[in-house]
Amino acid sequence: MCSSNSSYSMKTLALLFILIGLTNSRIYSASIIGYAGSFNVLDYGAAADGITDDSQISGRLVASSTPSIWTGQDPSQWLAFRNVSGLIVDGSGAIDGQGQGWWDQSCRYHPEMEGCTKLAPTALKFIFCSHSSISNIYFANSAQTHILIERCNGFKVDNVMIQSPGNSPNTDGIHIQASQYVAITNSKISSGDDCISIGDYTSNVQIYNIQCGPGHGISIGSLGKGGNVAQVENIHVSNAFFYGTTNGARIKTWQVGRGYVRDVTFENLEFNSVKNPIIIDQNYCDVRGACKEMATGVQISNVVYQNIFGTSSTDIAINLNCSKSVPCTDITMQLIQLTSATPGREVTAYCRNAYGQEYSIEPGPCPSQV
């Protein structure tokens, strides 16, 4: 099912640029704010035979700039595909979320504002989709996350461009949640949150040839909030460039969490003036440093960092802040060269409760050898 929320008429929606190939099709419909019922895309020329491009129209899909238009509607999504196998979403075209109105009333930046907004629309969701893909599309200024891939099996993202300001709250580029066999390649992402984030129950992810900045880097997590069990494994990030980001390669877990993150590789990465180029924070907290250390934690093991170079905008270029109770193990660092973005300054490595081996890294030593 394809669902959407917008202030536009069906005629306007029909100008969407997407080329869609559907298999195992039933009825795929769009619901529009202000219009009762649903619209069957088969009535608008879709063949849904798994072969035919269901549209050859190009254009720009623009959300309403007024958050109040969502009153009485589901504020968590704008466009969504659910329970589709063999879906192909291709461009060229653009999706503009016009998120400024939402950012101006975000609780993240305006907690004192009465009625501030905690939940804003994700531009495009894929839920329970299998063997599907999205490519060659430009996203701008989503109210919140730009692309969400949730409970999908076999999903490809290629050659997408995502652009929102560095100070736009919660505007992750791509978030992957409870999904398996996901590939994100050849894409450029600028956002106010993680360029790519990986949530609980996610495995077998390939991320290759990504430009990230501004943003919060490529992150696994946060995981384990509220004592949840995390199960994340087989994550491979390669050939990524980070420019002016808050983080580079990051793993973040809550102390109250349980479960594991394992079999992760970050390789062939370049950093340009990144605050935290390499960071594991196993003591992630709403207020940094305010949470007491606990006996629980998400086990982080078999993480490889290799062939990484560039500059750090802070003095700590490598920061492995692991749990005393559930330390990080089997951490491998090799062929790493990180220097300060400020000429003449030195950078250091901080490694706490992190164990493994290192070969030819600067700064070092890190991690502790056992």
Kindly list the catalytic residues.
193, 216
Cα distances (angstroms) measured from residue 258 to each of 250, 255, 297, 321: 18, 8, 5, 17
Instruction: Quote the tokens at residue 219.
Output: 């992150």
Per-residue b or e along 118-140, where b marks 16 or more CB atoms closer than 10 Å to that residue's CB: eebbbbbbbbbbbbbbbbbbbbb
Task: For residues 161 and 176, give the distance between their C-alpha atoms in angstroms, rounded to a whole number.
Answer: 17
Determine the 3-state secondary structure of 97 from DSSP.
coil
Cβ proximity of 283 and 292 under 8 Å: no
Instruction: Quote the tokens at residue 4.
Output: 């959407």
Task: For residues 192 and 99, give the distance between their C-alpha atoms in angstroms, rounded to a whole number.
Answer: 12
Determine the 3-state secondary structure of 260 from DSSP.
strand
Instruction: Quote the tokens at residue 253.
Output: 């877990």
Cα distances (angstroms) measured from residue 198 to each of 39, 89, 184, 203, 315: 34, 22, 12, 9, 27
Instruction: Quote the tokens at residue 198.
Output: 């990986």
Torsion angles phi and psi, residue 203, rounded to 5: -150, 160
365 cis-preceded (ω within 30 degrees of 0): yes
